[in-house]
C-alpha cells in the first residue's frame, strides 16, 4: 500500500504538545494526513461512537479531565453513562483527549505521541520530540 493509498486522520489540537508531536511523526514518515482540528469543527455522536467502537474503548477512556470542565459537569462519577459523557463532549469538545489517530491499521488515542508508530506502515528514520526527547524507532 502506498503512502497516498494509506489514509490517515488525526483529530488534533495544535495547542497540545503531544498532538503536535504525533502529527510531526506522521509527517516525518512521509504521510500527508487529514488534520481535523476538533476544537474548531466539534464532534458528532456518530463520529465519537464510531471512533470508540473502532478503538474498543468507552467514552470515559477518552475523557480528558485536566484543563477541562469535566469535574464541574459531574462527569467524573463512575455512574455517569457513556451517552452523558458523549453529549458533554459534543457540547464541550475540549473534553475529548487527544490526539486520536485513525489509519487502516486501527484507531488509537496516541498518548504518548509515539503510540502513533503502531498505526503506520512506514516509520520515520529518526524523530526528536519538541522537548528534545529522541524517540526510539
Instruction: Supply the residues annotated as catalytic.
Output: 16
Q: Give the number of other Cβ atoms within 10 Å of residue 9's Cβ.
A: 15
- Structural element, H or E, at residue 55: helix 45-55
Distance in angstroms (rounded) separating the CA atoms of residues 54 and 48: 10
Peptide bond into 112 cis (omega under 30): yes
With DSSP H G I counted as helix, E B as strand and the rest as coil, what are the percentages for the chain, rounded to 5? 35, 15, 50
Q: How many CA atoms lie within 13 A of 19 on its CB side?
A: 18
Q: In the sheet that 100-103 helps form, which strands lie side by side, from edge to edge?
A: 34-37, 9-12, 100-103, 106-109
Amino acid at each position: 500500500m502506498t503512502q497516498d493509498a494509506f489514509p490517515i486522520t488525526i483529530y488534533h489540537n495544535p495547542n497540545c504538545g503531544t498532538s503536535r508531536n504525533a502529527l510531526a511523526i506522521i509527517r516525518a514518515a512521509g504521510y500527508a494526513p487529514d488534520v481535523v482540528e476538533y476544537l474548531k469543527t466539534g464532534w458528532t455522536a456518530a463520529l465519537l461512537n464510531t471512533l470508540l467502537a473502532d478503538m474498543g474503548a468507552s467514552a470515559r477512556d477518552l475523557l480528558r479531565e485536566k484543563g477541562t470542565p469535566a469535574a464541574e459537569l459531574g462527569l467524573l462519577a463512575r455512574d455517569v453513562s457513556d451517552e452523558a459523557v458523549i453529549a458533554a463532549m459534543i457540547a464541550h469538545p475540549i473534553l475529548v483527549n487527544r490526539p486520536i489517530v485513525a489509519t487502516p491499521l486501527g484507531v488509537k488515542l496516541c498518548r504518548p505521541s509515539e503510540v502513533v508508530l503502531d498505526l503506520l506502515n512506514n516509520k520515520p528514520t529518526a524523530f526528536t520530540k519538541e522537548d528534545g526527547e529522541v524517540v526510539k524507532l
